[in-house]
Amino acid sequence: MTDSLAIIEQIHKSFDLKDFNSLAIPAKAEFFCSIDSVSQLQQALVYAMQQNLKITTISGGSNLVLAADVSGLVLHINLKGVSTSTMLDNTVDISVAAGENWHDFVTLCLNNGWHGLENLALIPGNMGAAPIQNIGAYGVELSHFLQSVDVVNVETGQPEVLTDEDCDFGYRTSVFKQSALDKYVITGVNLRLSTQSVTHVSYPALADLLQGVEPTPKIVFDTVCQLRRSKLPDPKEIPNVGSFFKNPIVSKQQADQLMATYPEIPMFPQKGDFTKLAAAWLIEHCGFKGSRHGKVGVHHKQALVLVNFEGNGEDILLLAENIKTQVAEKFAVELEVEPRIYGHTH
């Protein structure tokens, strides 16, 4: 009984989420609780079930749009800790709690000589969100290193472990966005990295900058940071969620038709008969780059980034819808929003 009383004392009503989302959207949580341990999470789930409250989990808040106030109980996952286990065959197994900052962890790995994640430097957000998105950049994806994900089952309150296969990773997606949407709260991620110097530098933008250079993991890390800083605004300075749209994947036939009309369109061949297009190029060629729409806009250096100048979630979503419509009309390509949208619009 004391457990549930303890959790009730830590639950806040009508809690402002502005500081908990990187778009700095002013929206309120009906109920809010910060979670520092798995047992606290289990107590909160029991409380939510007893009170018949919907659960919404947030962590770094860098991949969500608050369309309006969020009903139910918002859980801010703040679990901390990094531990390593066996080192075999030049690898190290690392367990990372869901509330750890992603870039700080990548930096820690580099400093300890645990390699593989350098291309994913400076991606905003916390560890718990990384497998949901299967975050990736410059030719590397999290799924290349992930062994398993520690979760708590929302319905049973029991801890479970999902293997790499269970997670069903794809391009910027996973089981957590599909069949297991809202079924689990991620509490930790288990990775296997190399203790030998490995680098992945085949991605064109990276390869260009590293021409004639013998790339070390530190050089790759620094170059990725330089690339990201040159293109993407810091959310602390200009509120944003990074890439707002996924790069669309179309049939090779459609890609060839586009190429005939727009010879300069960037294309990336995919497995099977598919081609990935650069969403930023499509948006820019509809005239949105650097444009302002009331209290929101599109960043002047990167057309994939929507920015907030004191607007709200509805303003951002209206702009996104406008971009999607114009890209569809001009190129017959359907853009898909990357961040998750929370809150009901009135």
Residue 144 CB partners (closer than 8 Å, separation 6+): 116
pLDDT of residue 239: 97
**Are 105 and 62 within one domain?**
no
The verdict on 55 and 158 lying in the same domain is no
Mark which of 214, 229, 244 sits at the end of a domain: 229
Q: Which residues does 16 contact at the CB level (< 8 Å), separation at least 6?
A: 26, 27, 28
Per-residue model confidence (pLDDT) at position 205: 87
Say whether both 205 and 298 belong to one domain.
no
132: which 2 tokens?
A: 């949901």
What is the per-residue pLDDT for 344? 67
* Two tokens, residue 131: 């497998």
Measured in residues, the chain has a length of: 346
One domain, residues 13 and 127: no
State residue 8's pLDDT score.
75
Count of domains for the chain: 3
- 205 and 96 together in one domain: yes
Is residue 58 within 8 Å of residue 20, measured between CB atoms?
yes
Task: Flag residues of the chain having pLDDT under 70.
Answer: 1-5, 344-346
**Are 106 and 183 found together in one domain?**
yes
Span 170-220, pLDDT tens digits: 988 999 999 999 999 999 999 999 999 999 999 888 999 999 999 999 999
Last residue of a domain, one of 229, 250, 270: 229
Output the pLDDT for position 343.
87
Domain span holding position 304: 233-342
Whether residues 165 and 131 share a domain: the answer is yes
Identity of the residue numbered 323: I
Residue 205 and residue 163 in one domain: yes
pLDDT at 346: 47
pLDDT tens digit sequence for 8-40: 789 999 999 999 999 999 999 999 999 999 999
Domain CATH number, residue 50: 3.30.43.10
pLDDT of residue 6: 72
3-state SS track over the chain: CHHHHHHHHCCEEEEECHHHCCCCCCCEEEEEEEECCHHHHHHHHHHHHHCCCCEEEECCCCCEEECCCEEEEEEEECCCCEEEEEEECCEEEEEEECCCEHHHHHHHHHHHCCECCHHHCCCCCEHHHHHHHCCEECCEEHHHCEEEEEEEECCCCCEEEEEHHHHCCECCECHHHCCCCCCEEEEEEEEEEECCCCCCCCCHHHHHHCCCCCCCHHHHHHHHHHHHHHHCCCCCCCCEEEECECCCEEEHHHHHHHHHHCCCCCEEECCCCEEEECHHHHHHCCCCCCCEECCEEECCCCCCEEEECCCCHHHHHHHHHHHHHHHHHHHCCCCCECCEEECCCC
Residue 99 structure tokens? 């509330």
Of 137, 274, 131, 238, the closest CA to residue 191 belongs to 131
Residues carrying an active site annotation:
172, 243, 338
199 with 246, same domain?
Answer: no
Regarding whether 319 and 293 lie in a shared domain, the answer is: yes
Rounded distance, CA 94 to CA 193, Å?
8
Please check whether residues 43 and 56 belong to one and the same domain. Answer: yes
Residue 95 shares a structural domain with residue 219: yes
Strand arrangement, sheet containing 12-16: 12-16, 28-35, 70-77, 55-58
Phi, psi of 233 (to 5 degrees): -75, 145
Which of these three, 229, 260, 276, is where a domain ends? 229
- The CATH number of the domain holding residue 157 is 3.30.465.10
